[in-house]
Amino acid sequence: MKTMQATSPALFPIGSKLQHKKTGGFYEVMGIATIEANLEKAYVYLSLQTHDYWVRPQAEMEDGRFILVS
Contact 9, 16 (CB under 8 A): no
Q: Binning pLDDT at 50, 70 and 90, where does residue 2 land?
A: very low
Tens of pLDDT, residues 19-49: 999 999 999 999 999 999 999 999 999 999 9
- Which residues partner with 30 through β-bridges? none
**Which pLDDT value is given to residue 70?**
82
Q: Binning pLDDT at 50, 70 and 90, where does residue 9 land?
A: confident
Neighbour count for residue 39 (Cβ, 10 Å): 12
Q: Binning pLDDT at 50, 70 and 90, where does residue 8 land?
A: low
Strand, helix or coil for residue 45: strand
